[in-house]
Structure 1
Amino acid sequence: MQEETLWVGTSSHVSKLGTYLLCLLFCWLIVPIFIAIWTAFELRSIRYQLTTERLQITAGIFSKRTEQIELYRVKDLTLEYPFIYRIFSKGNILFYTSDHTLQNFSLEAISNADGVMDVVREHVELCRERKRVREVDIESL
């Protein structure tokens, strides 16, 4: 089966609203203006791409780094709508995985978070079924 892109997105500037407000408050010092600009560039450099097989997170302004998580490794998902994000119709999706390098991470301040989470959940199950992978938790005593 050919891998297809299901969703591509970025984090909203709402996630850095506190930083922007502090920079605005102290803009008379000049340095916070550059901090706000750098924060905006940093945030815009983060790109999420969900495919039928994996989730890729690419970040970096000058040097790029791409993290990949195979969907069959996703153990659990949590959807959060912090108050400020709700005002702007944004949400967070928290991923809990069995991957050793990227165990817990989140897609922060994304639009249509509940729709994206449904797509992720559906394709996690399809990917597990296709690869015949089962999740087994063993608790130590």
Structure 2
Amino acid sequence: MSEEKIVWSGTPSQIVNIGVFILCLLTCFLIVPIFYALWKYIVVKCTKYVITTERIKITTGVFSTQTDYLELYRINDLTFEQPFLLRIFSLGNLKLITSDTSTPELTLQAIPASEELQNEIRKHIETQRDKKRARVVDFT
């Protein structure tokens, strides 16, 4: 029996907050934008993704945290998105469509080397489906 191994672990890039940071810089004479920018920074920093060979673990929250586990074999579709701003910084989003009731759609935001990670996840999805003898059936 194979042991679960971490494939990738990380947090979203702070690039997702660039609009907030620029706005706060332009209005820095006010004290409130500084705290807003700091809050947005902390929220992104406290978002953690851990991708293993069997599941994806998403931990969010600053004061109280919520951890959601998504089994890889439940992922139906995996899409790579690279908006212009993220492309400049060699980042991308991975959008997952799942059969999980608690998380039917999940986006891993501003991930480095996300295209390579997408291929790695896809490989482990197929491995888990074979291991659990699970297949996706589309009733359309």
TM-score, normalization by structure 1:
0.96
Hey, what does 1:31 align to over in structure 2?
Answer: 32
Deviation of the 1:82 alpha carbon: 0.4
Instruction: Give the percent of matched residue pairs that are identical in Structure 1 and Structure 2.
Output: 44
1:35 maps to amino acid: Y
Stretches of structure 2 that go unaligned for 5 or more consecutive residues are: none
Deviation of the 1:60 alpha carbon: 1.1
Deviation of the 1:101 alpha carbon: 0.9
Distance, in Å, in 1 between the alignment partners of 2:28 and 2:43 is 19
Alignment of 1:11-90 (within 5 A): 11-90=12-91
Hey, what does 2:129 align to over in structure 1?
Answer: 128
1:10 maps to amino acid: T
* Runs of 4+ residues over 6 Å off in structure 1: none
- CA RMSD in angstroms comes to 0.7
SS at match of 1:8: strand
Between the two proteins, the alignment pairs up a number of residues equal to 139
1:60 maps to amino acid: G
1:20-45, Cα deviation, whole Å (9 max, x unpaired): 11111111111000000111011000
2:80 maps to amino acid: L
1:117-137, Cα deviation, whole Å (9 max, x unpaired): 011100000000000001001
Distance, in Å, in 2 between the alignment partners of 1:73 and 1:99 is 6
Distance, in Å, in 2 between the alignment partners of 1:24 and 1:93 is 29
Distance, in Å, in 2 between the alignment partners of 1:95 and 1:16 is 22
Distance, in Å, in 2 between the alignment partners of 1:15 and 1:117 is 19
Hey, what does 1:10 align to over in structure 2?
Answer: 11
Stretches of structure 1 that go unaligned for 5 or more consecutive residues are: none
Distance, in Å, in 1 between the alignment partners of 2:54 and 2:76 is 15
